[in-house]
Amino acid sequence: MKFSYNQMRQYSAAAQRSVAMAPRGMCASSQALATGSGLKMLARGGNAVDAAVAMAASLSVVEPYSVAIGGDAFALIYLAAEDRVVGMNSSGRAPAAAELEWFTSQGHREMPTQGILPVTVPGALMGWAEAIGRYGKLGLADVFEDAIYYAQNGFPLSEVIAGEWAEAGEILAAMPGGAAATYLIDGKTPRPGQVFANPDLAATYRRIVEQGIGIFYGGELGEKIAAFAKEHGGILSNDDLAAHKVDWVEPIDLDYRGYRVLELPPNVQGITALEILNTLSGYDLAALEHNGPEHLHLLAEAIKLAFADRDYYITDPEFYAVPVEQLLSPEYGEQCRAKIDPTAAMPPPSPGLGRTSGDTVYVAAGDAEGNSVSFISSIYFHFGSGMVVEGTGITLQNRGMSFSLDPEHPNCIAPNKRTRHTLIPGMLFKDGQCLMSFGVMGADMQPQGHAQFVSNLVDFGMNLQEAMDSPRLRHMGDMEIYLEDGIPEASAEALSALGHLMDPTPTTINKVGGGQAVYRDHEQGVWLAASDRRKDGCAQGY
């Protein structure tokens, strides 16, 4: 892949900063302090895995509404010396007591979105620890060093983070437990530039560093979490925590115009990004106006079809045989394209194969050895479940809300089952070489963002920063789409005429997420990177 820096074409207005470039190593995250934590690991002799985990740990302090050890974590790790990619899935399972009948007997017809009931086993901490234990060079004390410092001594809130933190103010104030005491200052969310500290979390991290993660998974911290859950009517036990394990899996992939796009297999929605690209592969997008009406119509319809499949098929493959090969086959791509009418938006489709049986942070890093890491961790909604265990600073995720309570649905809740998950790290290969680790945050936006970012690079020849910053479309559900500022008004008008409904929500709300990308220029032997203009972060190398 060649990027033009001298002739930026019509896309240059979309890029609001330069592509970062460095000879030895590169880190990118959504907050500058966290990016610095990753660089520190590289300078200390660590590798890209150490850098990625250090960034995630620091983000759990400086962007705490997005990530915590009470959440989950996933990764794609390219090991240069072995020339292979390993996939990490550290998503937590439902409690052993999570019987469908228990929820329905409590009067629930759908899973609650917040509170203690959607809390699943937190997998993030074990994922972080196993990643550095297997493939890193440093230890827990190193990767948690900055996180502990910022939690104990405080840090000034960056602007985007302060704004998104403020959106959760009412939830934090209303939730039982330690939410308000931990994450509000005098009853208010911290303002931009205000110094915020979290001494409880600092103490928790010090104990984990000193005693190991067993203190969380079955040990004293686990007992505290379980007691907290029971106090508030939950069913998560310390035995559930002790039983957690990380799954090391083979990635799934798709050839997109000669580029190999890698994602993690279900229970995550990486297959959805690949399915969007599979459908788009049959169109000559390069011949279309970028973000013109024809381009955006095809994109919206491909997303709509992929999401119909996502919402039905994706779940824990230990409980249901997700038809991955069928959904990614060239034949299925043809079937999807046959459903797209170029003159009209389609109503919400049904799953294409029928009913067969059987807030997030993303970081990327590359190092001097050529290793590349695509790493993502989250507690889902802003501050997850809203439940914070008193005296620990630990926020618990609400991933269980994605379970169905329909006994016929593949993703129906069951004991020790993993739900459909939104977190997806991505990678891109060409001619057998690992080119790039990339990701786009934002729940349902993630596969939509992956597909648009890859297409911007491959179909429209943008450079990394242009492809990242370019205005995005988001399918919101049913017939509704959102067009980010910067997409021509003529495109919106033409799409409306085709039957698409425009999301009317004020454009001050970021609905299209934020991303990072770290790219290896094999010809020059250097690292390139992009960090999304929509977030507070940056890419830095050395």
- What is 199-258 written as a DSSP string? HHHHHHHHHHHHH-GGGTTTSHHHHHHHHHHHHTT----HHHHHT--PEEE--EEEEETT
Q: How much is the pLDDT for 505?
A: 78
Which one, of 149, 157, 242, 238, lies nearest residue 201 by Cα?
149
Q: How much is the pLDDT for 16?
A: 80
Q: How much is the pLDDT for 478?
A: 93
Distance CA 537, CA 531 (A): 6
Residue 435: inside a domain, yes or no? Answer: yes
β-partners of residue 528 are 21, 519
Residue 319: inside a domain, yes or no? Answer: yes
Residue 508: inside a domain, yes or no? Answer: yes
Phi, psi at residue 283, to the nearest 5°? -115, 145
**DSSP H helical segments within 110-158, as ranges?**
124-135, 140-143, 145-153
Structurally, the chain folds into a number of domains equal to: 1
Residue 264: inside a domain, yes or no? Answer: yes
Residue 419: inside a domain, yes or no? Answer: no
Distance CA 75, CA 29 (A): 14
Q: How much is the pLDDT for 507?
A: 67
Q: How much is the pLDDT for 2?
A: 53
Q: How much is the pLDDT for 359?
A: 66
- Domain of residue 269: give its range: 249-356+427-512
Q: How much is the pLDDT for 352?
A: 59
Q: What is the pLDDT tens value at each position of the chain, 542 positions in all?
A: 554 443 334 444 567 889 999 999 999 999 999 999 999 999 999 999 999 999 999 999 999 999 999 999 999 999 999 999 999 999 999 999 999 999 999 999 999 999 999 999 999 999 999 999 999 999 999 999 999 999 999 999 999 999 999 999 999 999 999 999 999 999 999 999 999 999 999 999 999 999 999 999 999 999 999 999 999 999 999 999 999 999 999 999 999 999 999 999 999 999 999 999 999 999 999 999 999 999 999 999 999 999 999 999 999 999 999 999 999 999 999 999 999 999 999 998 988 564 433 368 999 999 999 999 999 999 999 999 999 999 999 999 999 999 999 999 999 999 999 999 999 999 999 999 999 999 999 999 999 999 999 999 999 999 999 999 999 999 999 999 999 999 999 999 999 999 999 998 776 678 999 999 999 999 999 999 999 999 999 999 99
CATH number at residue 352: 1.10.246.130
Residue 56: inside a domain, yes or no? Answer: no
Q: How much is the pLDDT for 355?
A: 40
Angle at 255 (CA atoms; ends 411, 481), nearest 5 degrees: 55
Residue 33: inside a domain, yes or no? Answer: no
Beta carbons of 530 and 465 less than 8 angstroms apart: yes
Within 8 A by CB and 6+ apart from 503, the residues are: 474, 476, 480, 481, 482, 511
pTM listed for this prediction: 0.96
Residues annotated as part of the active site: 360
Distance CA 347, CA 343 (A): 13
Residue 393: inside a domain, yes or no? Answer: no
Q: How much is the pLDDT for 1?
A: 57
Beta carbons of 486 and 34 less than 8 angstroms apart: no
Q: Would you say how long the chain is, in residues? A: 542
Residue-wise pLDDT for 489-506, tens only, equals 999 999 999 999 999 877
